[in-house]
Amino acid sequence: MNRSKIIATALAVPTALAIAGCSAISTGTPPPQAAAAPAGAPIASAAPATGGTGSLAAYEGTLEQIYSQVNPSVVHVEVVEQAAAQPAMPDPFGLFNGQQGQPQVQVGSGSGFLWDNQGHIVTNNHVVAGASKISVTLSDGTTVQASVVGADPTSDLAVIAVDPQATASLQPIQVGDSTQVKVGQLAIAIGNPFGLDGTMTTGIISAIGRSLPTGSGNAPSYTIPNVIQTDASINPGNSGGVLLDDAGRLIGVTAAIESPVRASSGVGFAIPAAVVQQEVPGLIKDGKYEHPWIGLSGSTLNPDEAQAMSLPAGQRGTLVATVVSGGPADKAGLRGSDRQVTISGMQAQVGGDVITAVDGQPVKSFDDLVAYLADHTKVGQSVKVTLLRGGKEQTIDLTLAARPSDPAGVANNTGGN
């Protein structure tokens, strides 16, 4: 079966406003928060009650302690973006009082969290992209101005900065090991859904190893690998907020939901903390992060495609659809699919190389390929790609390049998706 992309809803809260006389919704003065626990203070493992008031009280106490320790590190991010002016309409009676054709303002909000003692705050790129003004409200109600330090649209991460004095009394988030997350473990989300500051919800890790596209609609896009799925309630406004483990450590950045109604349906997605740790230092230092790039589009080989290529129905791997002209795969001699077949009444491209391993690590799906490149390689690194071509196995040396910033442009150059 071809890889199925998650069509997810970004979780920033947009509000379109005319330029005159409007403001964002205010929820009033935030309630006072409990004092933060000392950095590194141990938190008893949280587990849902299995019976008895003592177990329930212990579970509640753990959640209270996590909230008291972590919530001061979570911030409310508000952005203003200038939008194109609407064309003026005839106004013979002066009903619009000369307001037509003026620039429009879009106001949105999301979440973020304190990364270090230098005032750096991590959020989602889609929260701050295109913003002309960024304001950050801390848990005590203090509002300060912020600016973008670095951003990576292809991983939907951004770092903004505020005056370090404003956050001097706050503890940066403690980062956990997202590679050790297991399905069924407790998941705790803190953010600002619908602009409601300091909202905490709980659930479990529903799945791991998801892939999240960073584009929109049917446009070509890159994917974020190893995304964490949770049923902890997250909603518009949670973008850039934290997903925590049972010790209050960051395991993910809440970024998207799968829902037909732009509200929680119990299917939410978080960018894993391992990606955040990998990228944020580069975003702070250089303002960007360079991803290793192989230069091809493809999908997970399914049994029908395998049989159409005279391969065993159980053959696993990544079927190469297109190869970017002049890219690493093209230079190494990889071949894309070259013929169409009809499978279940639909046209499918087949005949390309089938990648089965990289550096000896099995590749059973397209997601395996993306995850290996993201987790174990860097720009300029040479890798050994094992593939099937015409049913025969061979290994090709390939040198990875820096990923282009625009996947649509790459796809247009190759005819691929």
One-character DSSP codes across 272-317: EHHHHHHHHHHHHHHS--PPEE--EEEEE--HHHHHHTT--TT--S
pLDDT at 259: 83
Catalytic residue (one of 76, 109, 120, 126): 126
Residues 394, 298, 273: CA angle, nearest 5 degrees: 105
Instruction: Give tens-digit pLDDT for 75-114.
Output: 999 999 887 655 555 655 555 555 555 667 889 999 999 9
Domains plus CATH for the chain?
1-20+59-86+102-284 (2.40.10.120), 292-414 (2.30.42.10)
- Looking at every residue in the chain, the average pLDDT score rounds to 84
- Looking at residues 258-262, what average pLDDT do you find? 82
Instruction: Give tens-digit pLDDT for 384-411.
Output: 999 999 999 999 999 999 998 766 555 4
- Looking at residues 137-143, what average pLDDT do you find? 93
At residue 24, does pLDDT exceed 80?
A: no
Structure tokens at 301: 């080989």
At residue 239, does pLDDT exceed 90?
A: yes
Instruction: Give tens-digit pLDDT for 264-319.
Output: 888 999 999 999 999 999 999 999 999 999 999 999 999 999 999 999 999 999 99
For residue 371, give Cα distances in angstroms to 11, 112, 178. Answer: 24, 25, 14
Identify which of 127, 113, 118 has the alpha carbon closest to the alpha carbon of residue 243: 113
Structure tokens at 42: 């141990």
Under 8 Å CB-to-CB from 241, ≥6 apart: which residues?
Answer: 74, 110, 111, 112, 113, 189, 190, 191, 192, 234, 253, 254
Amino acid letter, 38: P
Give the whole-angstrom CA distance, residue 330 versus residue 296.
Answer: 8
pLDDT at 353: 97
The residue with greater pLDDT, 261 or 37, is 261
Is 126 one of the catalytic residues?
yes
Amino acid letter, 323: V
Catalytic residue (one of 239, 297, 337, 365): 239
**Contact 236/13 with Cβ under 8 angstroms?**
yes
Instruction: Give tens-digit pLDDT for 171-221.
Output: 999 999 999 999 999 999 999 999 999 999 999 999 999 999 886 555 557
Catalytic residue (one of 156, 197, 245, 368): 156
Place of tokens 């079927």: 319
Is 239 one of the catalytic residues?
yes
